[in-house]
Amino acid sequence: MSTYAQKKGFGATIWDYLTTVDHKKIAILYLIAGGFFFVVGGLEAVFIRIQLAVPNNDFVSAGLFNEIITMHGTTMIFLAAMPLVFAFMNAVMPLQIGARDVAFPFVNALGFWLFFFGGVFLNLSWFFDGAPDAGWTSYASLAMASKGHGVDFYVLGLQISGIGTLIGGINFLVTIINMRAPGMTYMRMPLFTWSTFVTSALILFAFPPLTVGLVLMMFDRMFGSNFFVTTMGGNTVIWEHLFWIFGHPEVYILVLPAFGIFSEIFAMFSRKRLFGYSSMVFATVLIGFLGFMVWAHHMFTTGLGPVANAIFAVATMAIGVPTGIKIFNWLLTMWGGSVKFTTPMLYALAFIPSFIAGGVTGVMLASAAADYQYHDTYFVVAHFHYVIVGGVVFAILAGTHLYWPKMFGTMLNDTLGKITFWLFFIGFHMTFFIQHFLGLWGMPRRVFTYLPGQGFETSNLISSLGAVFMSLAVLVLLYNVIMTSVKNVRVGNDPWGDGRTLEWALPSPPPFYNFKQLPLVRGLDAYWLEKMEGKKGMTPAEPLGDIHMPNSSFLPFVIAFGLFVAAFGALFNMDDKAWSVPVLIIGLLITFGAMFLRSVKDDHGFHIHKEDLMEDDNDKGAKA
């Protein structure tokens, strides 16, 4: 075992991460890449707020502004929020169900690299005559009219990273269905695992419509088809349907894991089991199901007619019910508990009023006739930022502090964490609360400027000042991360002291095989149950034996890289560049060659022998 514990050089570490199939390392990759894109998207947000701080501003031009808003939305949803959520799913879910890895470790790595290269490809558009500028929704008539290659970067980049997300989702589904430890029944799974499960199912059904939409648009833009060309009998409303059949579940793909993280936090730091566990599970599944029934509420003003609008209005309101159940269950989890105000708990507490605000405006928006006023105004901008920042980003920040010790073996500074929290919390409400009113006062969204004399000046300035606080919060967090990593104070299995689920029964970070012996799960909050009986760890469910592990592989990186190369060929083929077709072919050859290699070459993995595992134990004993 000693070979694994050796300190590695920098190059070796990089190579290790490029070839890793370990879910814990892939989680770190997702965290780093997602964090990077979060900062990029955040900078774009800052540019937006600078431009809108005063009327008639010329900080950026009208065309550039549209590129910035498009990239802000696309980056934040696809390249920041999703991968960050995936980071926690990867880091925690296998540990929570008592598995040694996900079902398909190779596919897990492939999923990451596809997402990564898709994201890089999309962002490279800044350096090739302009980013996409048709909004993150990329409505077809505008996208088809968009000049330059921006929209092509959008279509191809999202297509590549979308494949990554889809196979990631399938992987999680299979993992949760097949790889639960003995005794871990469905109704004993922690809520974060449940939300991962439902989210993965949503990914499975929501991403194909997006893929279809993107393929149609790709053919229209690159190969001269006419799916969205009205003059040739095409129809642009179909894009709206396809996009929102994906787009609405996407919101739940993001927010359900957030609910999962908060469910863990509320239970942990109240020292109480989750109130109404079964109804929480039921509500999660119901939200996931209803999430597919409401997409047309994004299209109330498209002119679908009163029957469709009325049905989708009522269906949308119905989602409020399971969400309300969750809120009350969280409150009652704390009720009678012993609430400790750690940094993650602060985010969880702040999440309740913030998300409620986003939720109630959601119900207001569901009222179709009234939505004709809200639609495409700053009211909507305020609403979805309350849901996505107040729900998802709060959860990501909370999860970062909560799971940092489990992922890196050291705790983020709690005082700095609280400073981050307060700056972010104040900045967030300052930026977005006022935007509800801007919308009601008649300010449409996605405007690159506004004329004076319409009553928008003061409120926009306040909103922009709020962004300063949020930026400071992110800077403090980055400082915290650096300081913590430099100090590197190691922590034990359960650094918060209140861990309830299986991941806290393991060392921080866990060994690469996670569980030496698979644990026996005797109920909900498995680790907590053992602790309450005075035991130090889990009761093993199997005798100590050899552990079968997968080999590392560079092929996932190569497969994704091939598609990245091919995308450039496809994109510049439109300009009749001589090199474009060869590049396309070379890229596809790389991808399919690597896939062929993977298929024909047997890779049986390796075994960690029982003796090594026992030796590992002795090592630790000696150190202690």
> Whole-number minimum distance, CB 307 to other proteins, in Å?
8
Closest CB to other proteins among residues 235, 493: 235
In angstroms, the CA 159 to CA 179 distance is 30
> Whole-number minimum distance, CB 369 to other proteins, in Å?
4
The answer to whether 98 touches 502, Cβ cutoff 8 Å, is yes
> Whole-number minimum distance, CB 99 to other proteins, in Å?
26
In angstroms, the CA 446 to CA 377 distance is 8
Closest CB to other proteins among residues 314, 544: 314
> Whole-number minimum distance, CB 564 to other proteins, in Å?
29
> Whole-number minimum distance, CB 198 to other proteins, in Å?
19
In angstroms, the CA 459 to CA 440 distance is 12
Closest CB to other proteins among residues 328, 592: 328
Closest CB to other proteins among residues 454, 485: 454
The answer to whether 250 touches 158, Cβ cutoff 8 Å, is no
> Whole-number minimum distance, CB 446 to other proteins, in Å?
4
Cα-trace Rg, the chain: 25
The answer to whether the bond into 306 is cis (omega within 30° of 0) is: no
Name which of 326, 491, 304, 512 is nearest 403 in CA terms: 491
> Whole-number minimum distance, CB 399 to other proteins, in Å?
22
- Residues 6 or more apart whose Cβ sits within 8 Å of residue 258: 85, 351, 391, 392, 394, 395, 396
Closest CB to other proteins among residues 332, 520: 332
Angle between helices 23-52 and 394-408 (to 10 degrees): 150
Closest CB to other proteins among residues 60, 120: 60
Closest CB to other proteins among residues 291, 510: 291
Closest CB to other proteins among residues 532, 622: 532
> Whole-number minimum distance, CB 11 to other proteins, in Å?
46
- Residues 6 or more apart whose Cβ sits within 8 Å of residue 499: 268, 493, 505, 527, 528
Bridge partners, 548 (sequence order): 607
Closest CB to other proteins among residues 211, 301: 301
Closest CB to other proteins among residues 90, 146: 146
> Whole-number minimum distance, CB 242 to other proteins, in Å?
15
Closest CB to other proteins among residues 177, 360: 360
> Whole-number minimum distance, CB 560 to other proteins, in Å?
32
Phi, psi (degrees; rounded to nearest 5) at 570: -60, -40
In angstroms, the CA 506 to CA 267 distance is 19
- Residues 6 or more apart whose Cβ sits within 8 Å of residue 105: 21, 22, 23, 550
> Whole-number minimum distance, CB 75 to other proteins, in Å?
17
In angstroms, the CA 54 to CA 460 distance is 7
Please tell me the total number of residues recorded for the chain in this structure: 624
- Residues 6 or more apart whose Cβ sits within 8 Å of residue 544: 516, 517, 610, 613, 614
Closest CB to other proteins among residues 444, 540: 444
Name which of 266, 260, 261, 314 is nearest 283 in CA terms: 260
Name which of 585, 599, 587 is nearest 555 in CA terms: 599
3-state DSSP of 467-525: HHHHHHHHHHHHHHHHHHHHHCCECCCCCCCCCCCHHHHCCCCCCCCCCCCCECCCCCC
CB burial readout 420-429, b (16+ within 10 A) else e: bbebbbebbb
Closest CB to other proteins among residues 236, 493: 236
3-state DSSP of 148-213: CCHHHHHHHHHHHHHHHHHHHHHHHHHHHHHCCCCCCCHHHCCHHHHHHHHHHHHHHHHHHHHHHH
> Whole-number minimum distance, CB 209 to other proteins, in Å?
20
Closest CB to other proteins among residues 462, 586: 462
> Whole-number minimum distance, CB 375 to other proteins, in Å?
6
The answer to whether 129 touches 440, Cβ cutoff 8 Å, is no
In angstroms, the CA 520 to CA 100 distance is 14
> Whole-number minimum distance, CB 413 to other proteins, in Å?
20
The answer to whether 62 touches 145, Cβ cutoff 8 Å, is no
Phi, psi (degrees; rounded to nearest 5) at 377: -115, 180
Closest CB to other proteins among residues 19, 367: 367
The answer to whether 218 touches 162, Cβ cutoff 8 Å, is no
> Whole-number minimum distance, CB 51 to other proteins, in Å?
10
Name which of 400, 401, 553, 612 is nearest 22 in CA terms: 553
